[in-house]
C-alpha cells in the first residue's frame, strides 16, 4: 500500500513509506506489537463522532464530507486554533474505490460496464469494495495531537480491529508482514487506506461484519492475488459448525445485532487505542456536503 502525503512546504506529493502488496515467498511472518505502545496520552482529548453505522451513505457524499472537514481543520491550524479529531462511522451502498495509483489490472470487469459505481480517490492502496454489512470508520485525525508517524498510525488502526475481534468474538486475528490490514489466516477481515495532508489523516478502514463477499470476486482485493477476504459472520458460522464454545453464542444473533455489537466494540477500542473521549454529535449540528458530481 502507498500512503500519500502532501508536503505543504515543498509543494509536491512524497511517498515516505511503501508497503508491498505482493509477497512471493513461501511464508508470511506474523508481526507482534506491544499494546502498550499505542497509549500515547494520559489525558484524553475530545473527539467528535458522527455515528451513522445503521445508515447506507453514498460514497460520494461521505468522501466530500471528509474533505470538507479536512479543510476546516487546516483552517484551524493556520490560525493556531485547537484542531480536535473527528470520527465518522457508516456503511456504504455497493461501490468500488481505487487509490491514486491503483491499477486497472486488478479489475475483473470492463470499466465502461461496472457492476457497481467506481471511484478513483486520493487515498493510498489498490481497489477495494464497500457495501452493506461492512462497518467503515473514517477517522479524521490531527496527527500533531498524537504521533507524527505514519507507521504508528497504520499499526494503531490495525490494533483497534485486532482488539475488537479478540475481546468481543475471541477471534485471534493478526497482522501479516508487508501486508497492511487485519487477517485471520489467509483471509483479510479489515482493509485500510489513508491519505495524509499537512499531518491530517483521513479515509480509514473497512471491517467486514455481515458483508456479502460475492462482489469481491469482481476485483483483486487490495491487489493481492494469493489471499482471500473474510467476514466476522462467516468466521462465527465456521466456529459454530466445528466447535462448542463461547464463540457459538454469537451465532444466535441476527445480522443487525451482530453489526450493533461490532460497532459498540469498535467505538470502545478506538477510544482506548487513541486515548480519546468520544462525543457523539447529532447530524443536524454539522453541515454535510452532498455533491454527487465531484
* Residues catalogued as catalytic: 222
Q: 98, 94, 145: which is closest to 121 by C-alpha? A: 98
Coil, helix or strand at residue 262 = helix
Which residues are CB-neighbours of 74 under 8 A, at least 6 positions away? Answer: 197, 198, 200
Q: What's 81's DSSP letter?
A: -
Helix and strand numbers (H, E) in the chain are 4, 15
Nine cell digits for residue 50: 458522527
Nine cell digits for residue 119: 471511484
d(CA 118, CA 121): 10
d(CA 93, CA 115): 12
Angle at CA 103, nearest 5°, toward 100 and 107? Answer: 120
Amino acid at each position: 500500500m502507498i500512503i500519500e502525503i502532501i508536503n505543504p512546504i515543498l509543494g509536491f506529493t512524497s511517498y515516505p513509506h511503501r508497503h508491498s502488496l505482493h509477497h512471493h515467498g513461501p511464508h508470511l511472518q506474523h508481526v507482534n506489537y506491544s499494546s502498550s505502545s499505542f497509549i500515547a496520552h494520559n489525558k484524553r482529548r475530545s473527539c467528535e463522532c458522527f455515528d451513522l453505522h445503521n445508515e447506507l451513505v453514498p460514497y460520494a457524499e461521505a468522501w466530500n464530507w471528509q474533505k470538507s472537514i479536512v479543510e476546516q481543520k487546516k483552517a484551524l491550524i493556520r490560525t493556531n486554533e485547537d484542531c480536535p479529531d473527528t470520527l465518522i462511522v457508516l456503511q456504504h451502498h455497493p461501490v468500488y474505490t481505487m487509490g491514486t495509483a491503483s491499477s486497472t489490472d486488478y479489475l475483473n470487469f470492463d470499466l465502461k460496464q461496472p457492476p457497481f459505481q467506481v471511484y478513483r480517490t486520493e487515498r493510498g492502496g489498490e481497489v477495494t469494495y464497500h457495501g452493506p454489512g461492512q462497518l467503515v470508520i473514517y477517522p479524521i485525525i490531527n496527527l500533531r495531537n498524537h504521533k507524527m508517524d505514519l507507521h504508528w498510525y497504520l499499526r494503531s488502526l490495525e490494533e483497534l480491529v485486532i482488539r475488537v475481534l479478540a475481546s468481543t468474538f475471541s477471534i485471534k486475528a493478526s497482522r501479516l508482514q508487508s501486508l497492511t490490514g487485519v487477517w485471520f489466516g489467509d483471509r483479510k477481515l479489515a482493509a485500510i487506506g489513508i491519505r495524509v495532508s499537512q499531518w491530517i489523516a483521513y479515509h480509514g478502514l473497512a471491517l467486514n461484519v455481515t458483508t456479502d463477499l460475492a462482489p469481491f470476486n469482481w476485483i483483486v482485493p487490495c491487489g493481492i492475488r494469493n489471499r482471500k477476504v473474510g467476514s466476522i459472520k462467516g468466521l462465527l458460522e465456521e466456529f459454530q459448525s466445528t466447535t462448542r464454545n463461547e464463540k457459538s453464542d454469537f451465532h444466535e444473533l441476527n445480522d443487525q445485532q451482530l453489526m450493533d455489537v461490532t460497532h459498540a466494540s469498535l467505538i470502545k477500542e478506538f477510544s482506548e487505542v487513541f486515548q480519546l473521549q468520544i462525543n457523539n454529535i447529532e447530524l443536524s449540528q454539522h453541515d454535510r456536503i452532498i455533491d454527487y458530481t465531484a
